[in-house]
Amino acid sequence: MNLLFYSAGENGAAWLEAFARALPETRIGTWPGASVSQVDYAILWKPPRELLGQLGEAKAVFNLGAGVDGIGDLAALRTTVPIIRLEDAGMTEQMIEYACHAVLRRYREFDVYAEQQRTGVWRQRRRIGKRAFGIGILGLGVLGSAVAIALSRFGFPVYGWSRSPKAIPGVETRAGAAEFDSVLGQAQVLICLLPSTAETRGLLDRRRLARLPQGAYVVNLARGNILVDEDLLSLIDEGHLAGAMLDVFRDEPLPGAHAFWHHPKVTVTPHVSAATLIDESVAQIVAKIRRLEVGLPVTGVVERGRGY
């Protein structure tokens, strides 16, 4: 079996070592250099269009990410070649930790207490009523569903939105374009976990963000291009939104001149909400390759028409 590996990231050697350990019987080549014509499976992160165009005979392409945007130009890859994304691979627990921290930090007003400490003020604040503190979650895939369940266990009312209907215990779910605004209207904290698709890019613009309640807080853990930066900042500066906690950005690393860096009501983290764990990811990909080799179906196959 022939495997082709390509990564535009900085940790390609670590991935190669992990695949070599997990598949000692397999020939693993890297691009550029390795012949592409005899490749059985390609494992890619942000490949160039030129490489995708040469993979027409591959049995499958694996994307080293939970979304499919790491593949880039899907049209360059023959439609008969399935694209398979990572599922969980250690990301769910991390995402739950980050999302719960963001919500509890806002709900328990830890930023306010931090400011009081800086100014030497000892003052206990009135507790916010939990039942009126709605959490909106956009995107109810593997990560979004897990976050929704975790937050519901704290006693928050959780409102989840997805493109198609889903049922999640303890979560009030909504679906489709007609019910999108109803989730925004009840979200004291809005958590975005949507995939990046043609439909979601620029989705959280001024018109939609303005539908959030006065004083709402935005948490983006999905992709930076879903959020319109300037519209978010305007609504914060105007006092409609209380602030934001952002882990993903249109350009990464976040440019040094970007207003997010120094805005007092915006918290920036460097895309760490759910890091891709190499060993867990390799184990998942290898298990799927072994299933495909004996003709068994696998999960995580991307529907190109939907973009995820």
Catalytic residues: 223, 271
- How far apart CA 249 and CA 76 sit, in angstroms, is 25
User: In a 3-state reduction of DSSP, which class is residue 33?
Assistant: coil
The dihedral over CA atoms of 144, 8, 255, 109, expressed in degrees to the nearest 10, equals 20
Other beta carbons within 10 angstroms of residue 26's beta carbon come to 15
What tokens appear for 215 in the block? Answer: 């004083």
What tokens appear for 188 in the block? Answer: 């004291």
Alpha carbon of residue 1 to chain centroid = 32
Name the residue with tokens 């719960």.
100
Q: What are phi and psi of 132, to 5 degrees?
A: -100, 5
- How far apart CA 192 and CA 217 sit, in angstroms, is 11
Q: What are phi and psi of 38, to 5 degrees?
A: -105, 15
User: In a 3-state reduction of DSSP, which class is residue 242?
Assistant: strand
Could you please report the per-residue DSSP string of 44-103? EES--HHHHTT-TT-SEEEESSSSSTTT--GGGS-TTS-EE----TTHHHHHHHHHHHHH
Could you give the angle at which helices 91-107 and 110-119 cross, rounded to 10 degrees?
60
Contact assessment for residue 203 and residue 230, using Cβ atoms and an 8 Å cutoff: no
